[in-house]
Structure 1
Amino acid sequence: MFQFTALSGAQSTSRASQSLLELDGGVKILVDVGWDSRFDTRQLADLEKHVSTLSFILLTHATISHLGAYAHCCKHIPFFSQVPVYATVPVVDLGRTTLQDLYSSTPAAATFIPATASPEDQTATDDTTRSNILIDAPTAQEIHEYFAAITPLKYSQPTQPKPSYFSAPLEGLILTAYNAGHTLGGTIWHIQQGMESIVYAVDWHQARENVIAGASWFAGGGGAEVSEVFRNPTALICSSVNGDKVAMSDSRKARDEALVRHIRSGLSHRGSVLIPVDSSARVLELSYFLEKVWQESTGDEVLKNAKIYMATKSGHATLKHAKSLLEWMDDSVERFEADDEGNSKEATAKSHKRSRSKQANGTSKTSRPFDFRHIKIIETQKRLDKILSTDVPKVIIASDLSLDWGHSRTALESIAPKPDNLVILTENSSPGSTKHSSTASMLWRWHMERLNGVAIEKSADGHQFEQVHTGRELIMRQPSRKPLDENELIRYQQYIATRQQMKNSLISADGRQLAEVEEAMEGEDESSDESEDDEDQQQGRVLNISAALTQGNKNKVAISDEDLGVSILLRKKDVFDFDVRHKKGRNAVFPYTHSRRRGDEFGDFIKPEEFLREEEREAQEAMLDEKNNFTLGQKRKWAEEKKQPIRAGKKQKQENSSVADGDSSDDSESDHEQEAADLQTENQEGPAKVVYEENRIDFQAKLAFVDFAGLHDQRSLQMLIPLINPKKLILIGGSASETAALAKDCKDLLGMKVVGPGGQSGAEIYSPQIGDVIDASVDTNAWTVKLTRDLVKRLQWQNVKQLSIVTVTGQLRNDIKQNVIADENNAKKMKLTHVTNPANQKEGTEDVSIETQPVLDALSANIAASIRAVNQPIHVGDLKIRQLLNLFNQSGHSAVLMMGGTLIVDGTVAVRKLPNGQVVVEGPPVRATGGAGADSFSAVKRMIYDGLAVVAG
């Protein structure tokens, strides 16, 4: 069984992605926890209903549209943080910096409480029913802890995920991540369970880029054959974004050249260029390319005299992670780093030669990828204001893409009034259907309307390109954080109290409280040799604890200290002593709570704080004592809490920030410290609200568009989906027009049946809307039979990897017949009835059918011999050429892998694997006299057969 539910992002202009996959046995998988620039909690209402039954969560990309609501759900949705989460290493690292940048840039990301102050009132569709009172936003430390709990994965690494403690068992489910392109660490998920093979591919890009490698659809990264793991899956869940559009640029080179032409045009008019982009994902591709352009611009006076900045509050952290994730990038980036380390290659000599020539011209070359020399990192608002106040031509790469928050909003307000300035849109931002669409959507609509004409520019190489004149008024809503008044504070406290009561009512589902109850019951079993009076008294206390924990705070039932017993040391704060004299059972010893050790198949996770040098540890302790006003010789109190943990590398980060920007004044470090202090104070102000002010801007800057999104287009979708040839195709992640266009194309290419929203039985192409449940199970008929003892004794099991395989040949009992009927759900099942004699049936009576389980018995000797002579043996299993190469070399043979995937063994035997999975062995004929070639041929076939299971009739 496989059911798919689109919680968000299906046939919608919103790019927020949330999908629910339900497999056989009650296994539920949530893929992505996306959000959009509205930060509306009503988008999470359907998600919250399924949290208590989720098995695990998958994250696909490190963007707001794929994990923007992750920290919010961990903080405000009960039990969400207890569900295991899986993602690749770059998604974990870059996703953390993305959310830290989000929550530090706009107060609206904290979301609002309902107008009625009731947590259940989250489904209203009218914006007027929402209040402007903010919920507590996740702190930077909490965001770090949430992402630290994610289990990191590598590409092509099959993993058996661990379910949540309230989930059904996974029954051998295998999870594998593959490269999706588009972002660093972007993932195509392959989920295998039983007969279901599901490929989840949303927002992928097949072409290679400057930093990001292309999606790994094809074996070896190229060719015309799709990798075997993606071939003919049960279901392909694919995004329909750009399903009706063809890329404007046919290649990456044309796209890069178009961007440089627009930048050079804006700078040649002594203007500034603003490029909005996300804070941690696509910004790596854009910044790496522009740094390379500035390195090679020694003869270009326009670029040489201009400054380039990357304005994002998580800029240094993003680049730090990028430097440690080079193995996840395209091969060209890896080769660049390897050559720089001094490997003896021809490219190394050329690199040194270019470096010497550039040093002679007075320029410097970067030593490592993302060690930028031309791009300056801007993190604080004050430094950005200083840079915007100058008239020097400059290029600003700013977050965020929506232009509603982050440094891109501030830069837009400064750049917009001047007609010589230029704003380059890098993604298609279709206008939303909400009342307040994003600023980027408004500018995209202006770019498409072109009401005030177009400026035709011509580059030095003869190419013509367009820039759209604006001359219109732009209305921007500026959010600001304000303290609550008396009435609003009462509503806020009412909401928090109600929310806390709802959480406490679910305390019986919390594993830690249930573990204490089970521990109390186990203690009773150990003290079973006590007197009956003591035993009855202890059992009564256990029942009291269980009842109290079950009811929780729902009926305001309080647990007394006597009922808690020795557990009071764990359950109550500032209690450090308990009298165990004359106590029996569990109250006689200190309570023990088992804590799971986090780790993977390689061992425990490494904690950097456990490997500090002695001088580093002393320095941290001194700083901690200074913050807590602790002096040597002073006694600490038992209940003293250590707040404000040390932020490692903060001082070094500030120094790097001040050095990176040569245009800033000498007090840039003090400005950075003051900005961080102001931000920390603002986050600790307590309850607050958001007040929106309309800011009207006379927008005179020109607009341009260069598709730097790194997403698939109509051509790549039409080429790849027929090669994958899925049994079921589910289209999500695009608008209604894009989804309909792609569904029509797939119908023509594959000859599959297309259905509308909701789907129907027998359909093969689905285009669901938000909330629709799609039954995309594989079309098979299964029946349950009972084997006789005689048949079971004859079974010969064979092992292939982790599977046990057996062939069964038998016959049903002669006294029963099978009658296949259809039930109400059109699902087929077997119903067996006893044979009745019509002569013995009385007139006026009906034949009563008795359902029974069919019995499969062994065949007689003569029938089994005739069937065995007709049936041919079948080889079951899957052999990889790489595995055979290692197997032959380890067994003493000489094996070499040639071009085309052909394996040559001992120079005489060739082993090839056909696209249908069949392994072909070619070699010299086996002679009666033998020979080395004949021996190798027989040995190769024998070793191949040993890796397969021979199933015969």
Structure 2
Amino acid sequence: MITFTPLSGAAQTSRTIPLAYLLQVDDVRILLDCGSPDWCPEEESNSEDAEQKSHPWDKYCEALKECAPTVDLVLLSHGDLAHSGLYPYAYTRWGLKAPAYTTLPVQAMGRIAATEDVEGLRDEMDVDDGEQDQISRTASPEAEAGPSTTPPAKDAISAARRKKGRYVATVQEVHDAFDSINVLRYSQPCHLQGKCQGLTIIPFNAGHTLGGTIWKIRSPTAGTILYAVDMNHMREHHLDGTVLIRQASAGGGVFESLARPDLFITDAERAHVTTARRKDRVAALLDCVTATLTSRNSLLLPCDSSTRVLELLVLLDQHWNYSRLKFPICLLSRTGREMLTFVRSMMEWLGGTISKEDVGEDGTSGNKKRRRGDDDADDEALGAFALRFRHLEFFPNPQALMQTYSSKDPKLILAVPATLSHGPSRALFTQFAEMPDNVVLLTGRSEEGTLGRMLFDRWNNAQREEAKWDRGKIGSNVMMDGTLRLKINSKVPLQGAELDAHLAKERVAKEKEAAQKAAQARTQQRMLEADEGADDESDTDSDSDEENEVERALDDSMDIGEDDGDTPSKAPARSKRRGTKSSGVDPASWALGLDVDDAQARAVLSFDIYLKGNVAKATSFFKSEGQAQRFRMFPYVEKKRRVDEYGEVPDVGMWLRKGKVLEEDAESEETKEARRRAEEELKKTPAEPPSKFVTTEVEVQLACRLLFVDMEGLNDGRAVKTIVPQVNPRKMIIVHAPPEGTEVLMESCANIRAMTRDIYAPQQGDTVQIGQHTNSFSISLSDELLASIKMSRFEDNEVGYVTGRIASLASSTIPVLEPVSSASLPSAKSRRALRGRRLGARPTATLPQSTMIGELKLTALKARLATVGVHAELIGEGVLICGAAAKRGAASDALEDSVAVKKTARGRVELEGSVSDVYYTVRREIYNLHALVAA
């Protein structure tokens, strides 16, 4: 049985992102995508009671948090925030530890997008590190009343969670989460193990983003499931189209491996949209850019940080090289350089025009030499000629951009994020929009409720009815006017009294932490001393005698030194030395993993002791003459090995230190060098001064121009209505779609006769159940039974009919299927005795039924009959005429040697005609097109 539940991004909803779906195949729970919403919606930032309102993502986050520990498999399809942004937080905080799979570019681009997002948010606002801290702060007034305080009520907990609102991971958590993901190549089957044993997952190219994936899930009980969202069948500058639909040059149609799935999960976000031709959209964008820059004005182009920005960069770089423009292209992103470094190392995943330019298909030998010289000049290019971006400059923040270029210099600015909800794009928009003739160029609609969507709605409402964005036309830019009130979050350093109070608070916290560590060290020391004393009481006296002897020797030496004037006071030195032994071991010794005895020896003994007096010392005590001389030695206490009833107690710290040493020895020189450089960079990085978060409300006087050009790289309604019927699934689930798109796609499928009628469009939180629950068991076939099976080949499999008896063997936990022996069958006499005697009738025996596996295609049958010399013609309505009647101008008596093949229903084939050689030939060829499982 298949159970499907949209956690977010359902059908028939205006909020189509983020995407997250829970798919359960029998007992295996699969999480399809784990996207994050925009944490700074515009209506929340402008409302005074934002803290009391529930957030749009509350229902989604609560549902994901509840099901995260029970998920068995995670599949990520794209590397943007809408598909993988919340995975790091769910992995580290909510227990989403299930194995995760994706492609290598999705892992890298998802890491870049999440890092950019969390750094931008944590640089502008105070993000709580956990819900428990917020809940404890909510209940703190009651907790101070006394020990009889009741636990916080559910209302307080829910209010605290609503107040927390944002679930933002740290940078380290982002890296840890994406490092745990398993990567696959396109078309690489992965046979899962453990609880997911039996499932096979295969990724295919989806287009739209670098490494974007269509997931094919094969189950032995549920069949084939195809998860395909956010596809693009069109070839772009840096990507090829999806493999789901073959190009016209390859014959068109659906890719065979992805055709006719048992369940097809796809989106209909743009099923009601007609997009303008890609050539026209690219020309409109480049014309706007060129006209604005040549008129000595600037453009602001909000973009994402990892996926679609690469298409814009490649397009603009090619236009700059072709038109020989000298204006700078500025990218405001903290992770821009890192993103391009990753992309240059994954050239095999790129397509479009980049692959040709990289290998230089259209260049001569001289051109190749020039490119090789360029490679030597730019070592970061890694051979990627189309990814040089010589006109591109990187800036981490708007302040760095303003220091390089003034506001009057013409330039093209690409700033993250595309929603303008926070970060450089929002800060730059407040200054950029007030300058006349500047252009804000939008390439996507952004998430609902953000500033980017508000600007898009303003542009779309200003267009004529026939020039709307979903009518297949390119609109015109509009002049914005009026004012817009925006809230800007920022971090400012502390000054004056606030700085002094913060430093005092840090000093008190450090002192408290040091006191806690010292108390913990003393407690551990007492426990270890008590355990050692209890385990080895017999050696206590001798050990203490030796220690006392060493101490007395040290005291004598110190007394001599003190008498000589080495130390000003004798009593404090003794008290300090004895206090060190009694009060416990230095916490640094515990941090180094030293044993208790080693730490005591380090605290008591010193290796720079100056030994005075004679080297050999003889005693003059009576009855001691003739004894050997006693030479002075360094003080040392012999360490006793602790032994219990199981043997010697192992030293865990020693093994940990040894393992660390072995790991360091196994590292390569490159790894050691990279780690050393990282440590040096960390030391060079200046410490961040104490700061606070402030929110200022600014009033922006709008005077710039606004233009929208669709560059999201997604299928429009025409492509969706063409692809879905060709895939021809047995059942289909629509997700990630507004109400208009859902209705359009369902209506289009209803008008196709061969299309399935089992189409579902669940809303958020609704559960769809498909099929019935199936229990699968493991069984082993005996060698005797396996030798008696008649196998028939069908596609890539061999099938056969089996009749046997289950037997359990003591040597195996898996039951064995053995052939049924004739002795175990009841005799005919016993059967007659049980059934009773009936006059005039013989007992009937049930004949086993043979099974034919496969789907008959009349075109394939026609081609097969042509090879054996039987002429056949299709006359429509699923009928194939075979024999003499199929020839033109055939006489009426030719019907005697003709056969009609009809497909009356799914799985049923009828042969009509007289018994002749043609009849048997046609029947034999039909059998050959199927796998016959004989009983």
TM-score normalised by the chain length of structure 1:
0.59
Displacement of 1:792 in angstroms is 6.3
Q: CA deviation at 1:224?
A: 2.5
Deviates more, 1:320-329 or 1:138-147: 138-147
Preserved contact between residue 308 and residue 396 of structure 1 (Cα < 8 Å): yes
Larger Cα-atom Rg: 2
In 2: Cα distance, 1:218 partner to 1:271 partner: 42
Q: Is the 8 A contact 1:729 1:764 kept in 2?
A: yes
Q: Which residue of 2 aligns with 1:6?
A: 6
- 1:401-454 Cα distance to aligned partner (Å, 9 max, x none): 101122212221221001210011101236x3xxxx211011012112229999
Query: Which residues of 2 match residues 792-803 of structure 1 at below 5 A?
Result: 796=789
Q: 1:212 to 1:793 in 2, by over 3 A?
A: closer
Residue 20 of structure 1, aligned match among 2, 14, 22: 22
CA deviation after TM superposition for structure 1 residue 384, in Å: 1.8
**1:272 lines up with 2:287 in the alignment:** no
Q: For residues 122 and 394 of structure 1, do their structure 2 counterparts lie closer, same or farther at Cα, with a shift above 3 Å needed? A: farther
1:106 corresponds to 2:121: yes
Deviation at 1:122, TM superposition (A): 10
SS of the residue corresponding to residue 188 of structure 2 reads coil
Which shows bigger deviation, 105-114 or 7-16?
105-114
Farther off after superposition, 304-313 or 346-355: 346-355
Q: Does residue 467 of the first structure (1) align with residue 494 of the second (2)?
A: no
Q: What residue number does 2:873 align with?
A: none
Report if aligned partners of 2:792, 2:933 keep a CA contact under 8 Å in 1: no
Q: 1:90 aligns with which of 105, 110, 116?
A: 105
Any residues of structure 2 matched to 1:45-444 within 5 Å, and which? 45-77=62-94, 79-80=95-96, 82-107=97-122, 108=125, 110=127, 117=136, 130-131=162-163, 138-162=169-193, 169-194=195-220, 195-218=222-245, 222-247=250-275, 249-250=276-277, 252-298=278-324, 304-339=325-360, 347-348=363-364, 368-387=385-404, 389-429=406-446, 432=448, 437-444=449-456
TM-superposed deviation, 1:260: 0.5
Q: 8 Å contact 1:270–1:420 — kept in the other structure?
A: no
2:48 aligned residue? none
2:654, 2:259 → 1: CA distance? 48
Q: 1:414 to 1:775 in 2, by over 3 A?
A: same
Residues 45 and 122 in structure 1, CA contact (< 8 A), matched pair in contact too: no
Length, aligned pairs only: 643
> Aligned residue for 1:447?
459
What secondary structure, in the 3-state scheme, does the structure 2 residue paired with 1:369 have? helix
Corresponding residue for 2:820? Answer: none
- Quote the offset at 1:60 in angstroms: 1.2
The CA distance in 2 between the partners of 1:861 and 1:368, in whole Å, is 83
- Which moves more between the two structures, 381-390 or 703-712? 381-390
Shift of 1:171: 3.1
User: 1:49-94 CA deviation, whole Å, 9 max, x = no partner?
Assistant: 11221112111111111111122222322x22x3211111001111
Q: Give the AA of the match of 2:789.
A: Q
- Deviation string 1:678-697 (CA, Å, 9 cap, x unpaired) is 7x567xx7xx7x65332221
Distance, in Å, in 2 between the alignment partners of 1:798 and 1:586 is: 61
> Which SS does the other structure have where 1:646 is aligned?
helix
1:352 deviation in Å? Answer: 5.9
Distance apart, 1:734 and its partner CA: 2.1
Deviations 1:495-550 (A, max 9, x none): xxxxxxxxxxxxxxxxxxxxxxxxxxxxxxxxxxxxxxxxxxxxxxxxxxxxxxxx
How far apart are the structure 2 equivalents of 1:230 and 1:262?
40
Aligned to 2:615: none
Asked if 2 retains the 8 angstrom alpha-carbon contact of 1:453 and 1:469, the reply is: no
8 Å contact from structure 1 (residues 59, 87) kept in 2: yes
Q: How big is the shift at 1:47?
A: 0.7
Are the equivalent residues in 2 in contact too, given 1:132–1:691 (CA < 8 A)? no
Is the CA contact 2:77–2:83 (under 8 Å) kept in the aligned structure 1? yes
Change (3 A) 1:305 1:577: same
Contact 1:103 1:110 in 2 (8 A): no
How far has the Cα of 1:97 moved from its partner? 1.4
Residue 421 of structure 1 aligns to which amino acid in structure 2? Answer: N
Aligned pair in 2 of structure 1 residues 50, 593: CA closer, same or farther (>3 Å)? farther
* Residue of structure 1 in register with 2:714 after alignment: 711
Report the AA paired with residue 296 of structure 2: R
Q: What is the CA deviation profile of residues 108-155 of structure 1, one whole-angstrom value per residue up to 9, with x for unaligned ones?
A: 5946867755799999999998436988x5443332222111111111
Q: Report the residue type matching 2:262 in the other structure.
A: T
On the 8 A contact 1:211/1:333 being kept in 2, the answer is yes
Residues 83 and 466 (structure 1 numbering): CA distance in 2 closer, same or farther, change over 3 Å? Answer: same
Indicate the SS of the match to 1:396.
Answer: strand
Q: For residue 542 of structure 2, what is the aligned residue in structure 1?
A: none
What's 2:762 paired with?
A: 768
Report the CA distance between 1:385 and its aligned residue: 2.5
Give distance in 2, aligned partners of 1:260 and 1:282: 16
- Corresponding position: 1:44 with 2:26: no
Quote the Cα distance in structure 1 between the aligned partners of 2:776 and 2:181.
Answer: 40
Q: Which residue of 716, 730, 734 maps to 1:731?
A: 734
Pair 1:44–1:795, CA change in 2 (3 A): farther
Asked if 2 retains the 8 angstrom alpha-carbon contact of 1:30 and 1:57, the reply is yes
**In structure 1, what is the equivalent of residue 679 of structure 2?**
646
Give, as a single letter, the amino acid of the residue that structure 2 aligns with 1:646.
E
- State the AA in 2 paired with 1:423: V
Contact 2:481 2:701 in 1 (8 A): yes
Amino acid corresponding to residue 196 of structure 1 in structure 2: G
What letter corresponds to residue 723 of structure 1 in structure 2? Answer: Q
SS of residue paired to 2:454: helix
After superposition, give the CA deviation of every residue in 1:343-399 in whole Å (9 maximum; x if it has no partner).
xx554459569989x9xxxxxx99712111112222244322324534121111111
**Contact 2:330-2:413 at 8 Å conserved across structures:** yes
Alpha carbons of 1:714 and 1:802: their partners in 2 closer, same or farther (altered >3 Å)? closer
Amino acid at match of 1:267: L
User: Match of 1:611?
Assistant: 668
Aligned-pair CA distance for 1:698: 0.8
Deviations 1:796-832 (A, max 9, x none): 2759899774303699xxxxxxxxxxxxxxxxxxxxx
- Percent identity for Structure 1 against Structure 2: 27
CA contact (8 A) 1:797 1:804 kept: no
Aligned-partner Cα distance in 2 for 1:592–1:162: 35
Kindly state the Cα deviation for residue 745 of structure 1 after the two structures are TM-superposed: 2.0
Secondary structure of the corresponding residue to residue 340 of structure 2: helix
CA distance in 2 between counterparts of 1:109 and 1:750 reads: 57
Provide the C-alpha distance between the structure 2 equivalents of 1:785 and 1:127, rounded to a whole number of angstroms.
50
SS of equivalent residue, structure 2 residue 279: helix
The 1:454–1:400 alpha-carbon spacing in structure 2 relative to 1, beyond 3 Å, is: farther
SS in 2 for 1:73: helix
**For residues 470 and 797 of structure 1, do their structure 2 counterparts lie closer, same or farther at Cα, with a shift above 3 Å needed?**
same
Q: Would you say the 8 A contact 2:235–2:352 is kept in 1? A: no
Query: Counterparts of 2:103 and 2:153 in 1: how far apart (Å)?
Result: 36
The 5 A counterparts of 1:640-789 are 646=679, 677=686, 691-749=694-752, 764-777=758-771
Per-residue Cα deviation, 1:543-598 (whole angstroms, up to 9, x for no partner) = xxxxxxxxxxxxxxxxxxxxxxxxxxxx9995746986331348744679999xxx
Give the match's secondary structure for 2:4. strand
